[in-house]
Amino acid sequence: MKITFCGAAETVTGSCHLVETNGLKILLDCGLFQGRHEVEERNWADFPFDPATIDYVLLSHAHLDHVGRIPLLVKKGFQGEVITTPPTAAIAKVILMDSAHLQEEEAAYHARKAQRRGEEARPPLYDVGDALDALEVFHRHIPYEKPFALEDGVEVVFHDAGHVLGSATVELHTEGKTLLFSGDLGNRHRPIVRDPATPPDADVVLIESTYGNRTHRTIDDSVTELKDAVHTVIGRGGNLLIPSFALERTQEILYELFLMWQHKELPSCKIFLDSPLAIATTRIFAKFPGYFDDEGKKVFAHNPDPFNFPPLRYTQTTEESKRINNLPEGNIIIAGSGMCTGGRIVHHLRHNLWREESGVIFVGYQAQGTLGRQIVEGAEQVHVLGEPVAVRAQIWTVNGFSAHADQPILLDWLAHTNAGQIFLVHGEEESLVGFQEAIQQKIGKKANIAKWQQTVEV
Ligand SMILES: [Zn+2]
């Protein structure tokens, strides 16, 4: 069996690994590169394989950096099948359509700029038509723990990765060996999703390393910090911005705000969910209560809809979004993108970042090169929509809501696999090196840092 690391190798985005076995070519994920310019440019390069020769994509979950290049794969000739879990298939639909719209908008923006300079414009990476074509190849939707065959002698099982709704660890049996691809692994004791499932034994393990060198504060500490931020900012009449990933983090934050409201701990304010994408993904959550943890099931069973409580407003249109900034302050605004690289949060940052009474609470990972990372790292001034803006608002970084496992959880998960060979993927350099050292010290095993475009024989 051969594995080629085609993305999320020596970086966190662009997850894509090619497995060649038994005459089959299988991709584990086919995600978009995001973040720094040179990383994003990789989206435009040819795939290091011929898409027409790929038989299957086994999709771990619907985050854009795992699913986002499937329309491009189809556009370039892929005729195989994408297989994933039922919630991931549902969420991938809205994520890919949104991504195609963004690609079209970005291309139109660059085309205007290019026209002014008399230069040739670049077409979108893919458009809405390509995304629709891609959705046609999502065939089998397979629940957790139900083995299925790709063909004779090649069998797959999805396990709950506990990262986002429907997220899977992929177990692949072939050539008498077991290959385990962790996908993104979740933190423990989070609201709504279950903890990552205990993994099976495996000969070869590809494990994510996002927080391979860190230990998170507990979720309880993070809920306390969220409450503190809400009371501090709303109490002094400011706006509290929550840049949030549309999938999972948004629903967890809404869920915590709902519990605060239910326990009469929420100060008088309005909460705006200002993201059409997050509104769409929130609706999908309500369709899959069978995938929630026990506490989540209980809360949903006893309440008509925790994602629909009196202070909460869903702002679908751009006009409604703009009106938020004309309202008196004292609101909570949840909007994407999670790393402030685009989307409506950028406009809210321009209106609020310079106000001392306002606040921003970061609840997710901020990649290198993003506006979110600059703010988190304490920049006194940042550029928002091309204009300099002073950072005077109070900034909170709460990593207990992280959808990613930290080092102790990753080590524990890895130890359970009794892995023969270990490859570290999906991490920035510091995390990869820190995690590699920790594996050597705590489990006594040698782990390899997967190199981008490297092929290994296992
Ligand atoms: Zn993810």
pLDDT at residue 94, as a whole number: 95
CA pair distance 164, 72, nearest whole angstrom: 24
Specify the CATH superfamily of domain 2-214+407-457: Ribonuclease Z/Hydroxyacylglutathione hydrolase-like (3.60.15.10)
Cα gap 414→251, rounded to integer Å: 28
Instruction: Give me ligand 1 centre to Cα 229, in Å.
Output: 26
How close is the Cα of 163 to the center of ligand 1, in Å?
A: 7
Q: Supply the pLDDT for residue 321.
A: 96
Angle between helices 407-417 and 429-442 (to 10 degrees): 50
Domain boundaries, the chain: 2-214+407-457, 219-401
Helix (H, G, I), strand (E, B) or coil at 54: coil
Q: How far is the CA of 58 from the centre of ligand 1 (A)?
A: 15
CB atoms within 5 A of ion ligand 1 belong to 63, 184
Residue 92 structure tokens: 């991938």
User: Rounded to the nearest 5°, which phi and psi values hold at 299?
Assistant: -60, -40
What separation in Å is there between the alpha carbon of 176 and the centre of ligand 1? 30
Instruction: Give distance in angstroms: CA of 211 to centre of ligand 1.
Output: 12
Q: Which amino acid is at 20?
A: E
Which are the contacts of 42, defined by CB distance < 8 A and separation ≥ 6? 7, 14, 33
What pLDDT does 216 receive?
A: 87
C-alpha of residue 406 to centroid of ligand 1, in Å: 14
The CA–CA distances, whole Å, from 305 to 101, 111, 156, 226, 252 equal 29, 44, 35, 22, 14
Q: Compute the distance from residue 330 Cα to the ligand 1 centre, in Å.
A: 32
Cα of 164 from ligand 1 centre, angstroms: 7
Q: Could you tell me which CATH class the domain 219-401 is placed in? A: alpha beta
410 SS3 class: helix
- Which tokens go with 56? 């299957």
Going by C-alpha positions, the residue among 434, 416, 415 that lies closest to residue 424 is: 434
181 CA to middle of ligand 1, Å?
Answer: 13
Ligand 1 center to 5 CA (angstroms): 17
State residue 249's pLDDT score.
Answer: 87
15 CA to centre of ligand 1 in angstroms: 10
Q: Where are the alpha helices (DSSP H) in 147-268?
A: 219-235, 249-262
Which pLDDT does position 286 carry in this prediction? 84
Distance (Å) from CA 184 to ligand 1 centroid: 5
Q: What is the pLDDT of residue 197?
A: 97
**Identical fold at 2-214+407-457 and 219-401?**
no
Query: Before 222, cis peptide (omega within 30)?
Result: no
Each residue's pLDDT, cut to its tens digit, for the chain (458 residues) gives 999 999 999 999 999 999 999 999 999 999 999 878 889 999 999 999 999 999 999 999 999 999 999 999 999 999 999 999 999 999 999 999 999 998 999 899 889 999 999 998 889 999 999 999 999 999 999 999 999 999 999 999 999 999 999 999 999 999 999 999 999 999 988 888 999 999 999 999 999 999 999 998 888 899 999 999 999 999 999 999 999 888 888 999 999 999 999 999 999 999 999 999 999 999 999 889 899 999 989 888 888 788 999 999 999 999 999 999 999 999 999 999 899 988 899 999 999 999 999 999 999 888 888 999 999 999 999 999 999 999 999 999 987 887 899 999 999 999 999 999 999 999 999 999 999 999 999 999 999 999 999 999 99
The rounded Å distance from CA 307 to ligand 1 centre is 22
pTM of the predicted structure, to 2 decimals: 0.90
> How far is it, in rounded angstroms, from Cα 326 to Cα 383?
22
**How far does the centroid of ligand 1 lie from the alpha carbon of residue 398, in Å?**
18
Task: Give the Cα separation of 103 and 8 in Å (integer).
Answer: 21
Contact 204, 173 (CB under 8 A): no
Q: Are 36 and 369 in contact (CB under 8 A)?
A: yes
Strand partners, 360: 241, 395
What φ, ψ does residue 91 adopt, rounded to 5°? -70, -35
With CA atoms as reference, report the closest residue to 1 among 154, 178, 175: 175
Helix (H) or strand (E) holding 271: strand 270-273
Predicted pLDDT at 303 = 80
Beta bridge partners of 204: 179, 421
